[in-house]
Amino acid sequence: MSELIQALLDGEHRALARVITKIENREPGYRDLVKQLHEHTGNADVIGLTGSPGSGKSTLVDKLAATYRDQGLTVGVIAIDPSSPFTGGAVLGDRIRMASNIGDMDVFFRSMSARGTLGGLSTATTDAVKALDAFGKDKILIETVGAGQNEIDIVKTAETVLVLVPPGSGDDVQMLKAGILEIGDIFVVNKADLEGSDRTVQELREMLDYRDGRVPGTVGHHGATEMDVSVEGEIDRAGWEPEIVETVAERGEGVDELLDTLADHRAYLDESGEREVQSRQRYAEEIRTLIREDVNELLTEELESRGGLDQFVQRVLDRETDPYSVSDEIVEPLAECLRDSDGD
C-alpha cells in the first residue's frame, strides 16, 4: 500500500486533500490510489442534495453538517460547482460556504468542478466520495450545481437524494415533472417561512401521487383513497414513500425533522434490502462509465495514429466516404482484437 493511502487511512487530513486533488486532476497513478481505497469503503452514509438555484442548498448543507457534528459524527462535503468551458475548473473555486463549520477539522469541505457533465457530476466525484468513505467520514454530503432537470447523476452516487424546492415557485415545481421528480427520496421545501410554501407542499404532494401511479385523495367526485396502482392494475404498497419536509435552514428550523427522515430512509434501505440493490446498480453504472471512458481514450489514440480526425472529416465532405464507414474503420481494429481474445 502506498504511503499516501496509509496516511489517509491513519486519519491525516493533508493526505486526504492530496488524494482528492490527484483524483480530481486525473494525475498519473490516480487509478491505483482509487483501487487501493475500494476495500476500505462502504461504511459512510452518502446523501445527495440537488434542486433549482436559489433553493438554499449550501445553507442547508451547512446546517446538516453542524447538526451531525453536534451528534458526534464526522462529515465530508463535496460541493459541485459549474465548470468553466475553457479550463474545466470550478468557476467559483474554493469558495467558503460553510460558515458555521470553519475551523472544525471533522468537517472536510471540498469544492469540485462538474467538468461539463450533463448530469452535474463527474467520475472524479464518485472517486472522491470513496476517499472520504475510506478516511472514515460518517456522513458524506454532495451538493450539486442545481442545473435543473438534467441533474440526475446524483442517484448513481448517493444512497439518499434530497430535492430542494423554494416556496411559491410554480415554475420550479413544474420543472420537476420533466426530470428530477423521479430521483428524490425526500423533498425539502426550504425557506418555508416565505409566502407560498403551503401551496408548494400541496403541489409536490399531488405530483408525487401521480408519479407513483396513485389517485390523490383530492381528485375525483368522491375523494378517492390514495393507493399505489401498478401498470397492470395491481396494488403495490412496497417501497419507500417519498417524504416532504419543510425547513428554514438559515434559522435551523426543520433540520432535526429532516435528520429524522434521513434516518428513516437509511433504516428502510437496510431493512428492505434496497441498499444492496442500490449498490449493485451503482457499481454496474460505474463500470459502464469507466469502460466508456477507457474505450473513448483508446479510440482517440487510434484516431491520432491515423493522422487525426480532420482528414476523415475532409473525406466525408468530399463524399469519398461517410461517417458510419469512418466509425467502422476506426473501431474495427479494437473489435478484431476482442474477437481474437475470445478465440484464445
Q: Model confidence over 276-316: pLDDT tens digits?
A: 999 999 999 999 989 998 999 888 888 888 889 999 999 99
CATH 3.40.50.300 domain locations along the chain = 38-272
Q: What local confidence, expressed as pLDDT, does residue 95 receive? A: 45
Helix (H/G/I), strand (E/B), else coil: 228:
coil
Q: What local confidence, expressed as pLDDT, does residue 153 receive? A: 78
The pTM of the full predicted model, rounded to 2 decimals, is 0.82
DSSP state letter for 148: -
Residue 228 has pLDDT above 50, yes or no: no
Domain boundaries 38-272, corresponding CATH code? 3.40.50.300
CB 302 within 8 Å of CB 334: yes
Q: How far apart are CA 86 and CA 97, in angstroms?
A: 24
- Of 162, 172, 132, the closest CA to residue 52 belongs to 172
Mean pLDDT, rounded, for 88-113: 64
